[in-house]
Every structure is written in structure tokens, then in C-alpha cells.
Copies of this chain bind each other. A is one copy, B any other.
Amino acid sequence: MLTTSALSADAATALTGEELHALMARLYPICRSITGDGVRQTLDVVREYLPGLVVHEVPSGTPALDWTVPFEWNIRDAWVKNAAGVRVIDFRAHNLHVLQYSQPKHGWVARQELEEHLFSLPEQPDLIPYRTSYYQPNWGFCLSHHQRAQLQDEYYEVGIDSTLDPAGSLTYGELLLPGSSEEEVLLSCHCCHPSLANDNLSGMVVAVGLARWLAQVPRRYTYRFVFAPGTIGSIVWLSRNPAAVARIRHGLVLSLLGGEGGFTYKKSRRATAEIDRTVALMLRDMAVPHQVVDFIPYGYDERQYCSPGFNLPVGCLSRTPYAQFPEYHTSADNLAFVQPDVLAESLLLTQEVLAALDANCRYQNRHPYGEPELGRRGLYSPVGGASAHPDEQLALLWVLNLSDGQHSLLDIAERARLPFAQVQRAADRLLAHDLLILLPD
């Protein structure tokens, strides 16, 4: 691939934070799970923004690596009524109220039995928790601890109008944006959480923003977006796409990008992959609060992408990580918890990261013996002796000095401690003066 990047030029075409938030507001009420109509409705909305999105259906029972695609779960209604017939827990009020993958149920249960199927948070008594039981048959309700304390009757009528269909399927969406190169960048987000805004929707809307932007710019890499249910979705995708897996050069799992707090980048299992170094560099260049943390085999779908057989260079970008903010997996992770300007900043950072990956090349200095005479080319200040040396001039010297075939622009920006964009501009100027040769990958 022998052209330099134009990718960073068109950042202005990206969706605004408000537009991202508006998309999120449309998706928020839908009751998603790892299978079912919620995912389909969600991907229908996403397709309005990304017409090229392909929706895949994988039948229940299909083997996928060590797993099997589960029965498809759908739910129409769920409630607990007291003796007076009043709904004391009501799925229609909040879709978090039902334990995900609850089996169909109807009948009277003693309070003691009901209690074994209730989930609440004693230390956050106002919030409804999010709980699942995908792979073990169960039924249950999630509710605030205050609400739970009011359940004093001896018997309650329980109704769960759900279906678990062995002839159903698992649904995921995929968008491919071809570039000059067949080498791929993977962007992956999970789409299996019901009404949770930061966890799940923020990653999805940033992915939509990124894809909209990428669709409009020249692309060096081919970009592949995967919107899939957590764990089983990425496992299904990995099991069905060995050829694409082999083409992945860089990847990011996007999650929790709308809440408070600085960025958290969790490195890939490889730890020093180009994506790891690029994200760290752009966080530094953007001068935003952030932390870069080591890979651990827990978290989002990077667990699958970084399993030892695949060991893909895929990191995970979040703001405050899962389980480290009190709203995590509760009804407080709602639309108000996510701010448009936070989404916009998250989108901007990922754009900068992709632009840097796209622009990262190795050059060969055509005059490696001594410095080339920059002055006669108008690249150096004509009057000498002043103390200050502008960073632009220093960037030229760094690119010349390290363009020995061993160093990429990323290497140079790291070693020179200069912004990547400045190093890239210096390379562009030197290239325009025929002082560099772009090397093949």
C-alpha cells in the first residue's frame, strides 16, 4: 500500500454528540438480549445509518467453537401481582425487571419461593439490577431493594410471557468498508443489553459514528464492524470467519464510551501491538485524562479475540471500566447518564486512532549520510543562531534521522516525544521534497 493517509482530513463529516445521543435514545427502550427480536429491531435502526450493514441469522443449535448457539429468547410481558391483582413488579415499567432468558411461567408462588428468584441491590436500594441466566434454565425478577422490601404478602401470582425457541436464531450485524488493502481493522461492540445506555449503547453509537465517517473517506485498510451479542456473538463470528480473522491487523472493542471519567485503554494480550501503542500515543497527543491498563482475560469480547488460539491485536477502549462506576449494570445506566459531549470526544479519539493507524508507514531517507541541506529547499530558517528551534523543524530532523527502514512514524513519534500528527506532517513535507521514499509494509 503505497499512498499516504488522507483519512484524517474529513473529521468534520462525523456525527455530532447530539446526533449520537439521539440515536441512543431511539435504541434505549428496546429489550435486547443475546438472541431475539430486540437485536433485530436494534440492527434495523443501525441500518438506517449504515445502509451496507448485513444482518446474519445463525440457527439455534449451531456449534460455534466450544459453544452452541442457544435457543432464541423473546419476551412479551412479565409481572408479579399481589392478591389484589395489582402488578407489584412490571416488565412494562422497565425491561430490566425480568431476569434475562427467564423461562415462561404462570402461577401462584409462596413469597419464600419468590424470594429465591428475586435480585436486588441492598447497597443501592433505589436501583434495579441487570441479571441474566442464559445458559442455566431459570426464571426471575430484578427490582429495587426498596420495592422488594414492600413484598409482604404470603403468595404472589407470577407471569412470564416468554418463548425459548429451539428453531430460532442468533442475530448479529456486520459492515465491511473495503480499503486499498485487504488487511482489516476490526471494530466490535456488543448489542445484547436491554435498557442500559453506557454499557452497550454508547459503544454501538460510537461505532455507527465511526462507520459513517469512514464510509466517506479514502481508506487504506478495510474496516469491519461487528455488532454482536457479548461472548456468544463474537464466538459465533470468529467460528464463521476464519479468512477474515487471518486478515485482521488491528482491532478495538468499543464499550462504555459515554459515561464519566477519563479513558481506559486495555491493551491486547500481545501488549505491544501497533494498536496498543497507537491508542496510548493518541491519548497522550489528545492530552485527555486516561489510563492504559494491561490485558486481563475478563471484560468484553476482547476475551474471545485475545484467546490464545486467535491472539489477535485487539484492545478494548472504554472510559471508566465495567464494575468501577456505581451505575454499572443497573437502571441508573440510563440516557441521562450518557452525555453528548462525552460521546463526541470518544468518537474523536477513535477517529484519531484510526487516522494514525492509517497513516503509519515506514519511509526511507534518500540522503541518509549526513543531514540533507534543508535550507536550500526552504525547510529550514535562513537566519541561524537563535536559541529556539521550532518543533516543526525538529520533526523534520527526527523523521530524516529515523527513516532508516526500521522505524515507522509511530516509532518516531514515540521516540521523539512529538505529536503523531506533527510527525506525519513532517513526513508529508519531506516526501513532497523528494527526501523520503515510502516503503512497502
Contacts and interface: CB of A to CB of B under 8 A. Distances in A.
Contacts of A52: none
A403 B308 contact: yes
A200 to B, nearest CB: 12
A132 interface: yes
Nearest to A307: B370
Contacts of A398: 296-297
A136 B133 CA distance: 77
Interface in A33-64: none
A370 B269 contact: no
A187 interface: no
Interface stretch (A178-186, A249-257, A354-362, A377-385): A377-385
A308 B371 contact: no
A387 to B, nearest CB: 4
A278 B371 CA distance: 27
A143 to B, nearest CB: 14
Interface stretch (A77-85, A159-167, A213-221, A298-306): A298-306
Contacts of A337: none
Q: Looking at chain A, what size class is its interface with the partner chain? A: 35 or more
A27 interface: no
Given A369-B65, A370-B235, A376-B135, A402 B298 contact: no
A369 B238 CA distance: 9
8 contacts: A67-B373, A100-B385, A131-B386, A132-B384, A135-B375, A297-B394, A307-B371, A323-B387
Contacts of A155: none
A130 interface: yes
Interface in A281-327: 296-298, 303-304, 306-311, 322-323
Given A132-B383, A296-B398, A385-B329, A304 B370 contact: yes
Interface in A250-287: 269
A103 interface: no
A64 to B, nearest CB: 8
Interface string A100-119: 10000000000000000001
Contact of A269 (B129, B134, B401): B401
A11 interface: no
A388 interface: yes
A269 B365 CA distance: 16
A386 B298 CA distance: 13
A296 B382 contact: no
A401 B329 contact: no
A389 interface: yes
B385 A130 contact: yes
Nearest to A401: B297
A136 B365 contact: no
A29 interface: no
A344 interface: no
Contacts of A239: 369-370
